[in-house]
Structure 1
Amino acid sequence: MIPYGRQEITPADIAAVVEVLQSDYLTQGPVVPLFEAAVARHVGAAHAVAVNSATSALHIACLALGLGPGDRLWTSPVTFVASANCGRYCGADVEFVDIDPRTYNLCPVALERKLEGAARQGRLPKVVVAVHLSGQSCDMAAIHALGQRYGFRIIEDASHAIGGKYRGEFIGNCRYSDIAVFSFHPVKIITTAEGGMALTQDPALAASMARLRSHGITRDPDEMTHLPDGPWYYQQLELGLNYRMTELQAALGLSQLQRLDAYVAERHALAHRYDCLLSSLPLITPWQHPDSYSGLHLYVIRLRLDEIASSHRDVFEALRARGIGVNLHYIPVYLQPYYRQLGCRPGDCPEAERYYGEAISLPMFHTLGEDRQDAVVQALTEVLSS
């Protein structure tokens, strides 16, 4: 089986983790801050807060922005459920904005239209989570302009996008957002096994998220409500969580970060080759916005079902049967039973549902190689012509 995504672990990665295992610290040591500083420096953010998953990063980002009961979070329906669940963790209501038919990201036109209606009804969002699907940035300048006009805060769910760029600058620098979030899951571009990170230019947001990831506790005298009783002293200022990243994870991430740009370049070479090899088949290859340099976590095709005899499911199952580990990213979140119970219904986002009925993620990882890529293309060609 050729998987849709796969990590690469090198001898240097193993050596970095072993060095931590032989050190005095397995958690809350010096390596996590080094990893945070390295990622922040790479993307051009002032602050970074490493956590145990991107889901945790989304949660503390929402908490730091003051999201709570009675508030609203809006996001894309074509994403992993965590992009919406982070709002529910805070007690907020969640609504969805339909996608752009070419990038599959949250559509600024649909967002503006929904905001106009929400303003009349007094139902504006407090937070919008813009998801960079497959690693391609949303139109963040347009979303930021709407945020300025309507007064919402912005989180970039850049879980797919580390190493990508928007308008020539690295995604994660928060030029058009309050907070950006990366994922380091094994199928992502670089990995810490599990792990995530929240980045921001705002020192107050960074301090809040750093407390929230560790029980809401501080040891900084400047943050305390009164002077410390002694050198042992700490204060819990708010109800936080245990979302800390370990030293082992950070060591792996720090080692992998050195290869990030090369990994993304290799993904682009593979994507270009896919584009060429698939050009004559009845499908749509991923469109890249001229403002975007995608991280290319995923390579998503859409079937032209009116030109083939098989159904979407038939094609998917036939590829799996041939050893091609395709996947589907994603089921529109509002179609999940949990969100239907909250009032979401089929038809809420028609473009997202059209996408769901046609999309297939082909294998995309930087060590895929031309031989395995050829096997993917051959299998797809056979299935579509059968």
Structure 2
Amino acid sequence: MPYARQCLDEKDLQAMLQVLRSDWLTTGPNVAAFEEGLTDLTGASEAVSVSSGTAALHTAMAGAQVGPGDEVLVTTMTFVASANCAVYQGATPVFCDVSSDSLLIDPDSVAERISHKTKAVVAVDYTGQPCDYDALKAICEQYGSVLIGDAAHSLGGSYKGRKVGTLADLTAMSFHPAKHITTGEGGAVLAEDPEAAKRMRSFRNHGIDLDLKQRAAKGTWHYEMTSLGYNYRLNDFQCILGLSQLAKLPAWVERRKELAKRYNQAFADMPGLVTLVNAPDRENSQHIYVVKLDLTRLSADRDQIYKALRAEGIGVNVHYTPVHMHPFYRQNFGTKEGTAPRAEQAAKEILTLPLFPLMSDADADDVVMAMDKVLKAYLL
């Protein structure tokens, strides 16, 4: 059983086929339709679709006008793209620690490391639980820093009744097949500031002021490159797939929550296992389900438990190795062990269990039984 799996149905396939038979395969009307679907869902003012979640983070950096000499604070408990996007712009990532119980970025760690060099702070909604955005925003406002939400895990979630997509100055999303909805590969940046959105739309299109559809509408061939950008466009058949998937998102999020609740109940008193804490003022949209092993009660380390569960047919995974521990950052930015002690410790303990809407209750129970069997074999 894999840890994640996309959900595609006949409606998705027919929607894509219709676009493939149309005149617009890219830069056409379905791009705007998908972006409108995202703003309708989240309440954000602007949505800029791009070709991947990584492209979304990079585009958000451009929207925030991050550049050489700037610093960008980022949690280290994340995928490498959350930090790489700052490096792409010539900035320096500064890694922050996490709260031990949730593995979300710790506002106290941000407050300790922020400075007047900090152009932006990247907050990652780990597992699907939104960060403490009120605390983070208050810190950012003191230094004039842009708050960027990395919501690759949290589409469909909320914080204090406010939807993900409206919690930060800019919000990056991913539509990889493992995520809540998919466009194959894809992403988007949500924003409130129309000027930031304008910069990002140009950035995704080579830094050019008008795309093909806009030029066609104006009856002109003429365009100007006003800044350095990239080809980060999401095409029309990907966008129509995303729009089709958005209609099913609420039901899928509810199913993810049901499965997470089933896990929580089963693991509540299981020796050797600790579940992550979800704050009562937040709705976790449960992209992944992560547990921590209590290694003080086990005769095996995490990697041994990982292999044993794999042998039982359970496709566990690990999210993540702290970014500052990767060779690239050690060699190029001088990062080292001890930078984020809580994240470093958690990285030795965590496992990601299967969670996706197509799972049955029986599938979840199989995961629970396998975990119980493996842990009992290694209990001290």
| 1:226-271 residue CA offsets vs partner (Å, 9 max, x unmatched) | xxx9822111111111000011110110000001111111111000
Looking at structure 1, the residues matched to 192 and 149 of structure 2 have their Cα atoms a distance apart, in angstroms, of 13
Looking at structure 2, the residues matched to 231 and 340 of structure 1 have their Cα atoms a distance apart, in angstroms, of 50
Whether the 8 Å contact between 2:289 and 2:352 is mirrored in structure 1 is yes
Show the counterpart of 1:164: 157
Q: Is there any run of 5+ residues in structure 2 with no aligned partner, and where?
A: none
Distance 1:246 1:230, change over 3 A: closer
Show the counterpart of 1:310: 300
**1:262-277, aligned counterparts within 5 Å?**
262-277=251-266
Give the drift of 1:124.
3.4
Q: How many residue pairs get matched? A: 371
Show the counterpart of 2:281: 291
Distance 1:309 1:230, change over 3 A: closer
Task: Give secondary structure in 2 for the equivalent of 1:360.
Answer: strand
Give the drift of 1:64.
2.0
**1:178-217, aligned counterparts within 5 Å?**
178-217=169-208
Q: Is there any run of 5+ residues in structure 1 with no aligned partner, and where?
A: 224-228
Show the counterpart of 1:226: none
Is 2:117 the counterpart of 1:131? Answer: no
| 1:179-223 residue CA offsets vs partner (Å, 9 max, x unmatched) | 101110000011101000000010000011000000111139xx9
Is 2:73 the counterpart of 1:70? Answer: no
TM-score by length of 2: 0.95
Task: Give secondary structure in 1 for the equivalent of 2:118.
Answer: coil
Give the drift of 1:130.
0.6
Show the counterpart of 2:11: 12
Whether the 8 Å contact between 1:310 and 1:384 is mirrored in structure 2 is no
Looking at structure 2, the residues matched to 65 and 299 of structure 1 have their Cα atoms a distance apart, in angstroms, of 31
| 1:74-130 residue CA offsets vs partner (Å, 9 max, x unmatched) | 100000000000000001111101001122111001211223xx4xxxx63111111
Looking at structure 1, the residues matched to 219 and 40 of structure 2 have their Cα atoms a distance apart, in angstroms, of 35
Looking at structure 1, the residues matched to 210 and 307 of structure 2 have their Cα atoms a distance apart, in angstroms, of 54
| 1:295-322 residue CA offsets vs partner (Å, 9 max, x unmatched) | 1001000011111222111101101111
Looking at structure 1, the residues matched to 266 and 64 of structure 2 have their Cα atoms a distance apart, in angstroms, of 45
Whether the 8 Å contact between 1:275 and 1:285 is mirrored in structure 2 is yes
Looking at structure 1, the residues matched to 193 and 112 of structure 2 have their Cα atoms a distance apart, in angstroms, of 30
CA RMSD between the two structures: 1.6
- Over 2 Å off, 4+ runs: none
Is 2:237 the counterpart of 1:241? Answer: no
| 1:147-174 residue CA offsets vs partner (Å, 9 max, x unmatched) | 1112211110001110011111210024
Looking at structure 2, the residues matched to 170 and 184 of structure 1 have their Cα atoms a distance apart, in angstroms, of 18
Is 2:250 the counterpart of 1:257? Answer: no
TM-score by length of 1: 0.94
Distance 1:129 1:280, change over 3 A: same
Show the counterpart of 2:334: 343
Looking at structure 2, the residues matched to 346 and 9 of structure 1 have their Cα atoms a distance apart, in angstroms, of 42
**1:108-127, aligned counterparts within 5 Å?**
108-115=107-114, 118=115, 124-127=117-120
Whether the 8 Å contact between 2:306 and 2:351 is mirrored in structure 1 is yes
